[in-house]
Structure 1
Amino acid sequence: MGGAQLELPSGARPGVCVRRSFRAHAGDQPRRPPGPIPVPGTMKQESAAPNTPPASQSPTPSAQFPRNDGDPQALWIFGYGSLVWRPDFAYSDSRVGFVRGYSRRFWQGDTFHRGSDKMPGRVVTLLEDHEGCTWGVAYQVQGEQNPGYLGPAPEEAIATQILACRGFSGHNLEYLLRLADFMQLCGPQAQDEHLAAIVDAVGTMLPCFCPTEQALALV
């Protein structure tokens, strides 16, 4: 067997990291891919396509990468840029692999990490490409192992915390309301009961936290 198959949720559009079907090859160090490779994002075992690397060029599965892909708590994050050499989160497993249907291009401006407002740097982004393929590294993380994972809590407790917290990017309430606005505008047919319950709890508790003028100032 030339490579270990790994199934990730399909249909997600890649961003900085993607959750998507890709073929993984175990190995300590990322290997330079032999060239671009074709499409689509399925996890069926495929015969060698015209641009698919031969099995002899692919690392073979290793005991250090156990096959626990069926773990419902596991999430695989696929990094195709700086995450291939500098993951900034804890992970329990990593695999070199590729995602079909996308090509990597230095077409994204960066005014923070690799440039400035006056001189934007160039970093990679992914473009849909039927005949494309992007190599990268997938990292397995588990929600309960995440140091920032707070776990379940009553909606009222979550609402209280949201109303009390502010960070570098703004008030926690803004985060909640912008997400709720997005769902109302773009997914009114979808039912997110958890989100709706927290919004309702916040609406009930907000007058107790501060006067109306101060409440409006939060967002």
Structure 2
Amino acid sequence: METFTVFGYGSLIFKPPPHVITQTPGFLKGYVRRFAQKSHDHRGTPENPGRVVTLIHKEEWDLFSGSDPFPNDDTVWGIAYTIDPVYVAEVRDYLDYREKDGYTMETLDVYAIENGQEKVAIHNAFCYVGRNDNPSFIGSEPLDLLSTTIWKSVGPSGPNKEYLYRLADAVRGLSNDSYDSHLYALEKRVKELDGNNDNKG
């Protein structure tokens, strides 16, 4: 029967797909995870889109990311989910709908660290990537502007900042080695906006 493994690097980490039989924390090499994708349907609206993460090939990101303060990041931690073969078609339909706002599917290798050494844990896992030619891709934004957009945006799936906070917590819990400089910096700034607003209230 058909096997299907999908790598989650955004909301799939804290809201996994159905019918998972195994899950493997790991990371990608040569990519960045950035809040570079507009969200019109989950964490924002068509009139006021929020921001959600996408994967970008590091060499592509370097071409138009002048405002990115973390130019050396090229590791993305997440979870590879292997789906019960009986339900592959159902889960692929579910994911295609969930990731419909500008994402396309690619295959890539997922790495893990064993005994201090990097090794390929899964070959050719599927992953939804927001390429820079899709209409929802917004590219690199200054952290202050990006954090303000995330802080104030709300969509059918809830506040944009909730997405950010849950993702940051989930990435921290993946491994003693997991990290994401961009994600944690955004989390800090949005929490500062929360605190400032509470003080005004």
- Shorter-normalised TM-score: what interval? 0.3 to 0.5
Higher strand share: 2
TM-score by length of 1: 0.35
Bigger CA radius of gyration: 1
TM-score by length of 2: 0.37
Structure with the greater relative contact order (CA < 8 A, sep ≥ 6): 1 or 2?
2
Higher helix share: 2
